[in-house]
Structure 1
Amino acid sequence: MEYINEINISEAIIHILDNNSEGPVLNKYSLELTEEVYIFIFKHIQRCLRDEELRYAKFTEEKNIVKEIAYEYLNGENNLINVSQELAKQMFRLMRSKGNIPSCDLLTVGFTTEYGPFLGIFKMDYIKSYMHNVESINGEVGINIVPQHMGLPSSGAKIKKCTFIKGTTTTNEYDLLVMDKQNKKISEEKEYGTNYFIDNYLGCKIVINDRDNTKNFMRATEGFIQRYLNEDAIKAEMLREQVREKLINKDNIIIEDVASIMCDYKESYLLHMTTNCENEFEVDKKYVEKKLKKIKLKVDRDIDISISQEAYSDQSKFEVIKNDDGSINMVIKNIQNYVEK
């Protein structure tokens, strides 16, 4: 996966999309990129680009206004004000037709990276914040706390829906990066309905990349070990260690090869993995490095251990000792100092 590190914001504009209004409130001027505003937008871009739920996608062949006007901007054929206004109109039409899509501000950003120009679109759902309200009651000062429903997500908050549309090249592995987080509560899922952001607004299809395969492989394999070897700590530890070694030392993962270390569970593992990742894929080394930097263990449901990969592999600091009854001991060694948190 392409990991974007260089972000240079050139311009940005924001529009108001309120379900209680007859139409969108369209801004006719670009934002003044003061230092504070620049940092606010930069941090949102950076946070979204680093989010594990950001996916590759390609536009479908069908006619799509968002695709067309985005490329007008990226190809220098139109300016950000015109393009962003049309993007806002399209989102507002969708909000009205689908119903129950939350009101928001639509932030559109033009920026450049080491991979060329991008157009970022952020659906910034309003968050509830609180402020004090001072009033006079019988000649005395009264102060209440009142909710505010129109706040934008802070630079440290997570945005649920955004996209980064890439300038066209002859070797595009993807057309855009997409994040479309769904509410996990059943009642809220029913409100949102179908996947409107990807299917109806952007008109794109998700493309599986190496990070997706690597992430799904790690999650599915751990899930399999927990399911089939929850009563055999020794074998579970052995398999986890071998899987980690493959991820660290191999450039490619072949599911058949991993299944061969599962012993009596080979066929069950192969069946388990069919819907989780491709049979062969290239390991995303940056993702593996990030995930294995800290090994987090949940021991017998009531003990949590977080330890660096380096310390975990150093037997002078940490050791897993096998017992005859199939259990294991985890021993922390040579402690010179510790603090209570």
Structure 2
Amino acid sequence: MDIYLKQAILQVVDRELGAPIYSQQPLDLTNGNTRDYLTNKIKKLSSAQSKTGVIRQGSEVANQLLNIASDFTGVSQQLVDKWYQAYQKSDDAPSADVFIALYEQDTQAYVAFLKVNYHEAYTHYVNAEEGPLTNQLIIHQSILSNKTQKADEGFAINLQTLGFELIEKQYTFSGDKRPYLSTEVIESEPQPSLEENVRVVKKAAEKIGAKFEVAKHDIVANVKEAIYETIEAKGEINTQDVAAKVFKDNVSAQTEFKAAMVEKAPADAPISPAVREIAEKKYGKQKLKLSNGIELIVPIDVYQNPDLFEFINHPDGTMSVEIKNVDEVISRL
């Protein structure tokens, strides 16, 4: 995913100071550290936790974005101001820095909103003002997360299609803990994230599996395999394929599972290429914890191959796991 940054600006939102401190000048993007930081934060807006949707035409945000290329500094301030009007009402939302970035990805224009919360961190301070030089230990109250971590909240909007990816948190408003970024800032209801859809699929499969007396570990393993295979093949969680994989020849269980999916989750929603790549890595391995304390991480292709990996059921109700055709064992500390 190649990102070409065109403009970016940093706005300071220290809640102890009151209103945001708005920068009158964009960031210097000739600075490699600044480019790396923003590029990595933007890339991490695509994740298994990202929600997707489309900004409503004619909404306040959609109208603001019409002028962002010609008045980047002014429009970025408008976006942050709209966000802050909602954010400041929270009882527990922390201080943060907000980055607005205008960029191109695959020849398409995007704008990103990145909120990075403050953290405490220790550092040294050299005091040479009075008396002998003294090295002291102090706490910085407004340290930002490093570039390898995703923003605490944010969204990226395609300026042509108004499609968006969004990561949001819940904060307390008048005693009620709830999200606010989608409902009050971009005012667009997103589709559930991949992670939310997988959670619904897994819960429904476990419930139906228990009814039809299918072992729970088989259900979870089959769900993970099915999700991996359907995302790899079709770029979405296809409930028909998941039902067939998880419940195999049990037509009644498949029918109940499909009905549950229609009722509970739009699981057939397309997945973006970036999230698809993340999902294939995330769900491409089976993670097993045995009752004797042994833990295994098994690639899907190995798990599916009986010449390499097999569960063996015994008459007394116990089972064994056989790992076959291993040429070498590497032990790591």
CA–CA separation in structure 2 for the residues paired with 1:236 and 1:268: 15
CA–CA separation in structure 1 for the residues paired with 2:184 and 2:286: 40
Equivalent residue number for residue 67 of structure 1: 62
Equivalent in 287, 293, 314 of residue 305 of structure 2 = 314
CA–CA separation in structure 2 for the residues paired with 1:326 and 1:190: 54
Q: How does 1:1-341 map to 2 (within 5 A)?
A: 5-33=1-29, 34-49=31-46, 51-60=47-56, 63-64=59-60, 66-73=61-68, 76=69, 78-114=70-106, 116-133=108-125, 145-168=137-160, 172=161, 175-182=163-170, 193-207=177-191, 211=194, 215-216=198-199, 218-220=201-203, 223-224=206-207, 232=215, 236=219, 243=226, 247=230, 251=234, 252-254=238-240, 257=244, 261-262=249-250, 269=257, 273=261, 275-278=263-266, 286=277, 289-300=280-291, 302-335=293-326, 336-341=328-333
CA–CA separation in structure 2 for the residues paired with 1:35 and 1:68: 32
Question: Is the 2:155–2:166 Cα contact (8 Å) retained in structure 1?
Answer: yes
TM-score by length of 2: 0.78
Cα deviation, residue 98, structure 1: 3.9
Cα deviation, residue 60, structure 1: 4.1
CA–CA separation in structure 1 for the residues paired with 2:178 and 2:217: 45
CA–CA separation in structure 2 for the residues paired with 1:146 and 1:229: 61
Q: Is the partner of 1:337 in helix, strand or coil? A: coil
Question: Is the 1:246–1:253 Cα contact (8 Å) retained in structure 2?
Answer: no
- Matched to 2:321, the amino acid is M
Question: Is the 2:8–2:101 Cα contact (8 Å) retained in structure 1?
Answer: yes
1:79-106, Cα deviation, whole Å (9 max, x unpaired): 2111112222223333334443322111
- Matched to 1:14, the amino acid is L
Q: Is the partner of 1:10 in helix, strand or coil? A: strand
Structure 1 residues 236 and 256, CA gap change in structure 2 (3 angstroms): closer
TM-score by length of 1: 0.76
Cα deviation, residue 54, structure 1: 1.1
Question: Is the 2:56–2:62 Cα contact (8 Å) retained in structure 1?
Answer: no
CA–CA separation in structure 2 for the residues paired with 1:44 and 1:203: 23
- Matched to 1:157, the amino acid is Q
1:40-66, Cα deviation, whole Å (9 max, x unpaired): 1111111222x21111122346742x3
Cα deviation, residue 70, structure 1: 1.9
1:285-313, Cα deviation, whole Å (9 max, x unpaired): 64653233222112227321112223223
Structure 1 residues 330 and 246, CA gap change in structure 2 (3 angstroms): same
Q: Is the partner of 1:36 in helix, strand or coil? A: helix
Q: Give the length in aligned residue pairs.
A: 321
- Matched to 1:37, the amino acid is T
- Matched to 1:35, the amino acid is G
CA–CA separation in structure 2 for the residues paired with 1:238 and 1:96: 44
- Matched to 1:219, the amino acid is K
1:18-77, Cα deviation, whole Å (9 max, x unpaired): 21224221111111111111111111111222x21111122346742x33212322xx4x
CA–CA separation in structure 2 for the residues paired with 1:27 and 1:249: 44
Gaps (5+ residues) in structure 1?
A: none
Percent identity reads: 16
